[in-house]
Amino acid sequence: MKLGRIFYPFVKFQDYIRSFDLKSYRWPQLVEDIMEVSGSADIYCNSFNYLINNEHTYFKHWFDRPIRLEKSDLSPNIRRAKLSAEAYTLIERFSHIYSTNQTPSFVRFLTQHSIEKNAPAFNPFAKQALAALNDKYKSDIKIIKTLSGVKWLG
């Protein structure tokens, strides 16, 4: 019996995101849910930027000693390039021509062989929607900092 990978048809981002109510997703609720499920009275939280910009302080907090992480290998064989807007458009168009089995190979090719190095990154959100999501994130951070039991790092 031969077991193969199952490939699902390509779904446009706009079709995929319609299945979510982005207004209902909030970080404070997630933090409260984690506290409830874990049974913990206290939880440590931080913004993503804090982790990225203060990784040594962040890990020292958790392990009570400095931890030095090695630099990641960013070569195309290890790390996939960010998807450009142009590559996304090509993937969307070719997904109607190629079978679902062929599409992953095409995606891999596009992400490892960037069509144009300075091409704008794929960003599916309109500027207004992106600004609204960013404002909601900042508001959520302020709320999280006031939650009982939250210890804010950074």
What φ, ψ does residue 45 adopt, rounded to 5°? -135, 155
Two tokens, residue 6: 């199952």
- Considering only CA atoms, which of 153, 64, 93, 81 is closest in space to residue 122? 81
Segments of the chain assigned E as strands? 43-45, 150-152
Q: Are 100 and 10 in contact (CB under 8 A)?
A: yes
Angle ∠(150,153,154) on CA atoms, nearest 5:
140
pTM above 0.75, yes or no: no
pLDDT tens for the chain, residues 1 to 154: 455 566 667 788 888 888 888 778 899 999 999 999 998 888 889 988 888 888 878 888 888 887 777 777 666 555 556 677 777 788 788 777 777 777 777 777 776 665 556 677 778 888 998 899 999 999 999 999 999 999 998 7
Calculated CA dihedral for residues 109, 115, 116, 122, nearest 10 degrees: -70
